């Protein structure tokens, strides 16, 4: 099995400058990450896969020929993945975090997050983001109570911005984030109309196909030969 690393640029809305990249991983030839992570879940390999991904990103972080070291890296974390290691060894977590800095950890909007992990990440001075915000039954509670510095609006909210009621709701969210000193990112900006509304609302950061398509960075062979047999159709 081969896995392709992709980069999705994140832009400052006001200046149109790239300020960060979100790292994505997919099996070679696939258009989304869904099948890769379904395979990992079915074979209890989420933490192993995430650790393998992070090891490669650490190698590439400050290699001049590979990436722009000034950009903030946004990296997804699954609640049942490598993040659990912060409970056992915060020193190792902080060391990896230091080697990836500046880095924002995107907490996937899914079940399984526990207070002890969130507390430990805070103790490790991790910069946290709520990913796909608005896509979970506990989404508002997490926004208010978790110590996150970034919030990434779910693409489905952004795609409904042309509707006046959704636009007003997102505008209210933006005001809240400014008062709380949180950074707001509009994900999934796919059309010129959505892009125009994001600019009008003053949402500070954005990403999506209307700005730039994800670009393949490198394809790497997964080291476990059994993965080729266990691949999910």
CATH number of the CATH domain containing 160: 3.20.20.450
How far apart CA 6 and CA 53 sit, in angstroms, is: 12
- CA-atom Rg of the chain in angstroms: 18
Of the candidates 205, 158, 220, the one whose C-alpha atom is nearest the C-alpha of residue 9 is: 205
Q: CA triplet 64, 70, 75: central angle to 5 degrees? A: 95
Tell me the backbone φ, ψ of residue 113, rounded to 5 degrees: -75, 135
Nearest to 205 by CA among 61, 22, 26, 69: 22
Domain of residue 132 covers: 2-230
Enter the pTM of the model. 0.92
Total domains, the chain: 1
The pLDDT profile of the chain, 233 residues, written as one tens digit per residue, is 999 999 999 999 999 999 999 999 999 999 889 999 999 999 999 999 999 999 999 999 988 677 788 999 999 999 999 999 999 999 999 999 999 999 999 998 888 899 999 999 999 999 999 998 887 778 888 888 999 999 999 999 999 999 999 999 999 999 999 989 899 999 999 999 999 999 999 999 999 999 999 999 999 999 865 555 444 32
Residue 7 · residue 215 · CB < 8 Å: yes
């Amino acid at each position: 099995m081969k896995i392709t690393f992709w980069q999705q640029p994140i832009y400052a809305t006001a200046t149109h400058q790239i300020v960060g990249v979100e790292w994505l991983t997919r099996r070679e030839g696939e258009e989304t990450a869904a099948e890769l992570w379904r395979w990992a879940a079915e074979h209890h390999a989420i933490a192993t896969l995430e650790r393998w991904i992070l090891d490669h990103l650490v190698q590439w972080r400050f290699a001049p020929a590979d990436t722009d070291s000034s950009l903030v890296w946004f990296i997804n974390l699954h609640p049942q993945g490598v993040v659990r290691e912060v409970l056992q060894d915060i020193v190792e977590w902080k060391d990896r975090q230091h080697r990836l800095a500046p880095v924002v950890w995107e907490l996937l909007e899914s079940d399984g997050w526990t207070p002890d992990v969130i507390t430990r990440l805070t103790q490790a001075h991790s910069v946290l983001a709520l990913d796909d915000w608005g896509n979970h039954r506990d989404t508002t509670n997490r926004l208010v109570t978790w110590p996150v510095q970034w919030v990434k609006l779910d693409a489905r909210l952004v795609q409904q911005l042309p509707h006046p009621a959704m636009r007003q709701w997102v505008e209210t969210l933006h005001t809240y984030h400014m008062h709380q000193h949180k950074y707001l990112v509009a994900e999934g900006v796919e059309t010129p109309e959505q892009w125009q509304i994001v600019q009008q609302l003053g949402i500070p950061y954005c990403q999506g196909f209307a700005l730039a398509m994800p670009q393949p960075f490198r394809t790497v062979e997964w080291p476990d030969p059994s993965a080729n047999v266990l691949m999910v159709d």
